[in-house]
Amino acid sequence: MNLRVALALGAAASAVAGIAPAAAASPAPIVWEASCPAGYECGHLDVPLSYQDPSAGTVRLAVGRLPATDQAHKLGTIFYNPGGPGSSGRFAPALTPALHARFDIVGFDPRGVGASAKISCFTDPSQLEVLQRALGTFPLTRAAEQQQVADTRVVTDLCERNAGPLANHLSTGTIARDLDRLRAAFGEPKLRYYGKSYGTYLGETYANLFPGRVGALALDAVDDPVRWSTGAAPMSYRLHGFADAPRALESFLAACGARCTFDYPAILDRLERGPITVTDTTGRQVVVTYQGAIARIHDYLTDAQSAPRLAAFLQALADPASPAPAAQGGPPDIDSLLGGGATLCSDAANPRDPAVWWDYARRADGVGRGFGPFDVYKTLPCATWEVKDPGRYAGPWNRPTAPILLLANRRGDLETPYAGAQRTERLLGNARLLSLDTYGHGARGKSACIDEWLDRYFNTGAVPAPGTVCAPDRGPFG
């Protein structure tokens, strides 16, 4: 799960898009389009706005296909979701060279995201200022907490006023039904699917809604579906992503060894007293707050190969004469923020009193300093944004499937903790967990052992023996 502050205006003032008159009862075909990035084929599929009310009209899903390189020996199609919720998945990666050879790989932008039908909460770009204050951060004082709650309420009030009917049809249960329409539109009798992070929750939902239509599901960086969908605490607290943060941090520091001369707790102590100004490798001065530092450290810890950049960042905070690595990547777009937020709030039971987030954040801070509040406050908007999708699915989660579901998880994952993957293996009707012995988020592409099992699984249905643990191809520093 990943919900970040959006800093770009993007298409924030665009109207609710893509709701059309009701479609025919039979599944619609893919409509292929002429314009598409090299190597891909682009199209769209119209699906019902509401699977409970066919008269409500349709919405459009943007689809991309990466054709198999060996079409003469193609085995079928693998569908793909990268996570989020709210991440664009239209242009799927090759997964592995062997899978790209024998399978078309189809990605799509889920409803509410990217080039698919979207929602918009804002009628004036100036309203985005409150969004930037409200989301992607966490309070350190009671006064800051009250201001964040007030700002968040402004944002969710705007969403309830302006988002339109699509906002109440963005749950993962509805998206799983969209995925089944995609399966049928591509002529696949059974679903082959690879999902990462939130994409595992989408796969778990599909497997329990349509157990007889599962061909092969590989779920990488596993979300616990029970904790995602039900419980009294905020959903972001229930998932306990922060529980693996100490292990990830300790693994990084152990690998860093003599390279790291800084005192990590002292850096956090100093940031709690006020921001630190550093100079990055481009010569730009950057003011780093406690919350900003935690967010950046968290991002670096989701990829063990970012260890050199994390070490340089922490050294710059300890000694501002040392250059900090320049920030990489652009900000998330408004569509991802809004679509992903509506999905989170549709899926999960959450408290209705925003004040309780403060106490849960304090508890989480005792488990993973800084990372706990950073995680917990991601779902604060769900306290005041009432989105209720009649297509929401909240279990049961143990319906057996004919094929074994392949799960993969790192042992130190501060987005989807390892204990959650272990619980999910026991919970699902027929699943096998493959472990990667390193920290970070997501196992594919980091270990030849993991990738070889993915190849075998999709080609033959084979799964590893219980308790199999793979090693990474590289350590954090190479």
The predicted pLDDT at position 204 comes to 99
**What are the backbone dihedrals phi and psi of residue 174, each rounded to the nearest 5 degrees, phi first?**
-70, -40
Residue 10 has what pLDDT? 31
Tens digits of per-residue pLDDT, 111-128?
999 999 999 899 888 888
Q: Which two tokens stand for residue 45?
A: 């599929």
Indicate the pTM of the whole model.
0.93
Question: Amino acid identity, residue 26?
Answer: S
Distance, CA of 98 to CA of 121 (rounded, Å): 43
pLDDT at residue 429, rounded to an integer: 87
CATH superfamily of the 1-478 domain: Alpha/Beta hydrolase fold, catalytic domain (3.40.50.1820)
Can you say whether the dihedral through the CA atoms of 101, 103, 104, 106 is positive or negative?
negative
Which pLDDT value is given to residue 26? Answer: 63
Q: Which residues contact 452 (CB under 8 A, 6 or more apart)?
A: none
* Pairing of the two strands 103-109 and 431-439: unpaired
Cis-peptide into 464, omega within 30 deg: no
Buried b or exposed e, range 281-316, using 16+ CB within 10 angstroms: eeeeebebebbbbbbbbbbbbbbbbbbebbbbbbbb
Which residues of the chain fall short of a pLDDT of 70?
Answer: 1-27, 332, 335
**CA–CA gap between residue 396 and residue 402 (Å, rounded):** 17
Q: For residue 131, what pLDDT is reported? A: 87
Domain boundaries, the chain: 1-478
Strand order in 58-66's β-sheet?
31-32, 41-48, 58-66, 103-109, 76-81, 191-196, 214-220, 405-412, 431-439, 469-470
